[in-house]
Amino acid sequence: MGARIIGTGSAIPTTCLTNADMEKRVATSNDWIVTRTGIQERRAIKHGEDLMDLMHVASTRALDAAGLKAQDLQAIVVATVSGEYYFPSTACLLQERLGVDTIPAFDVNAACAGFIYGMSVVHSYAKSGEYGRMLLVGADALSTMVNWQDRTTCVLFGDGAGAVVLDTQPGDRGLLSTVIESSGALWKLLHVRSGHRQAFDQEGIQPKDWGIQMKGPELFKVAVRALADVAGKALGRSGLSSSDVHLIIPHQANLRIIQAVAERMKVGMDKVYCNVQRFGNTSAASIPIALDEAVREGKIHDNDIIVLNACGGGLTWGASVVRW
């Protein structure tokens, strides 16, 4: 039996902020952003818009692609750090929107690695036989958590939602292995205090240490090492190696990180899916959005070996290997 991804979906905000828009806000340039990160534009929710709407659309698209209805689901897991409420969980709010009751619904908090942590949860459920058909959503709105006066972070992040529907089916296709690791010792490299939110188009007074705090260069080095190592571990656990990989769908934080990881793994960039140029770092949403695009663009075929890997606040990192 294996947990197969049988449907994918995604949704992004309509508002696009280009690097030219960033130049009007902070002392930066298109050249600096593209050279250091690869990012050309990002999507952001405006004041009054709701990330839940994007999660709902992404989930509905994934269910449609799977040929299922919400009522067919047995569990809902949402990877996010952008919940509107401390409680209920975002997953419970999504559950209400989807009109499906009594099945378990809960959130996973592992920041940008949240989707892989979610994969670990659904993988375990599938292996144990606890739940068969599950919805896993990755969604974040980090644009509301950056200090829009801080050029070192505000150019990097964007918003969005992605979803996958999994079904436990006989055969050897599906999730082969998932490895997750954390280093609480490194939490200060990337963090956001809870409590204060502000959309990019909202005026207001911000506390001094408000917004994403990041030690970029240190984080860069940890991310490259961790992403390559954990992908290798996940492949090894499935009895595979980098040479078996058809496509890597990495967390989209920085094109230079993605290229350095591919080099370390000895995988050509033609086997790496990238959309960081268009969306920036969408945190837990980045892998499911990229996966949905890759599927809809016909870049993934039956039995392909796909590697998903991510690194985020915590620090947390992880990788999943899927036989499609």
Ligand X SMILES: CC(C)(COP(=O)(O)OP(=O)(O)OC[C@H]1O[C@@H](n2cnc3c(N)ncnc32)[C@H](O)[C@@H]1OP(=O)(O)O)[C@@H](O)C(=O)NCCC(=O)NCCS
What residues are annotated to the active site? 112, 251, 281
Q: Which listed range, 66-74, 218-226, 231-239, 293-301, lies at the site for ligand X (CB under 6 A)?
A: 218-226
Q: By C-beta, is 48 or 217 nearer to ligand X?
A: 217
Q: Which of residues 57-86 bind ligand X (CB under 6 A)?
A: none
CA 106/CA 132 separation, integer angstroms: 16
Q: Write down the least CB distance from residue 151 to ligand X, Å.
A: 4
Q: Write down the least CB distance from residue 175 to ligand X, Å.
A: 23
3-state secondary structure of 281: strand
Determine which residue in the list 37, 80, 242, 320 makes contact with ligand X, applying CB under 6 A: 37
Convert 63-81 to b/e letters by CB count within 10 Å (16 or more is b): bebbebebeebbbbbbbbb
Q: Is 155 in the site for ligand X (CB under 6 A)?
A: yes
The one-letter amino acid at 201? D
Q: By C-beta, is 31 or 96 nearer to ligand X?
A: 31
Q: Is 170 in the site for ligand X (CB under 6 A)?
A: no
Determine which residue in the list 30, 40, 74, 152 makes contact with ligand X, applying CB under 6 A: 152
Q: Is 28 in the site for ligand X (CB under 6 A)?
A: yes
Nearest Cα neighbor of 50 from 82, 9, 91, 8 is 82
The residue whose Cβ lies closest to ligand X is 216
Q: Which of residues 85-144 bind ligand X (CB under 6 A)?
A: 112
**Beta bridge mates, 108:** 79
Q: Write down the least CB distance from residue 313 to ligand X, Å.
A: 7
Q: Which of residues 239-258 bind ligand X (CB under 6 A)?
A: 253-254, 257
CA 291/CA 288 separation, integer angstroms: 5
Report yes or no: 254 and 155 within 8 Å, Cβ to Cβ: no
Q: Which listed range, 28-36, 46-54, 86-94, 237-245, lies at the site for ligand X (CB under 6 A)?
A: 28-36
DSSP readout, 289-306? HHHHHHHHTT---TT-EE
3-state secondary structure of 313: coil
Nearest Cα neighbor of 309 from 245, 217, 239 is 245
Q: Write down the least CB distance from residue 200 to ligand X, Å.
A: 15
Q: By C-beta, is 168 or 283 nearer to ligand X?
A: 283
DSSP readout, 167-183? EEESSS-EEEEEEEEE-
Q: Is 220 in the site for ligand X (CB under 6 A)?
A: yes
Q: Is 13 in the site for ligand X (CB under 6 A)?
A: no
Radius of gyration of the chain (CA): 18
Token reading at 180: 């997750």
Q: Which of residues 221-240 bind ligand X (CB under 6 A)?
A: 223
Report yes or no: 13 and 49 within 8 Å, Cβ to Cβ: yes
Q: Which listed range, 65-73, 122-130, 164-172, 215-223, lies at the site for ligand X (CB under 6 A)?
A: 215-223
Q: Is 25 in the site for ligand X (CB under 6 A)?
A: no
Site for ligand X (CB under 6 A): how many residues?
22
Q: Which listed range, 26-34, 76-84, 195-203, 290-298, lies at the site for ligand X (CB under 6 A)?
A: 26-34
Q: Is 180 in the site for ligand X (CB under 6 A)?
A: no
Q: In the block, which residue shows the tokens 């959503």?
A: 137
CA 75/CA 72 separation, integer angstroms: 10
Residues with Cβ within 8 Å of residue 30, at least 6 apart in sequence: 19, 20, 23, 40
- What residues make contact with ligand X under the rule CB under 6 A? 28, 32-33, 36-37, 112, 151-152, 155, 190, 214, 216-217, 219-220, 223, 253-254, 257, 281, 311-312
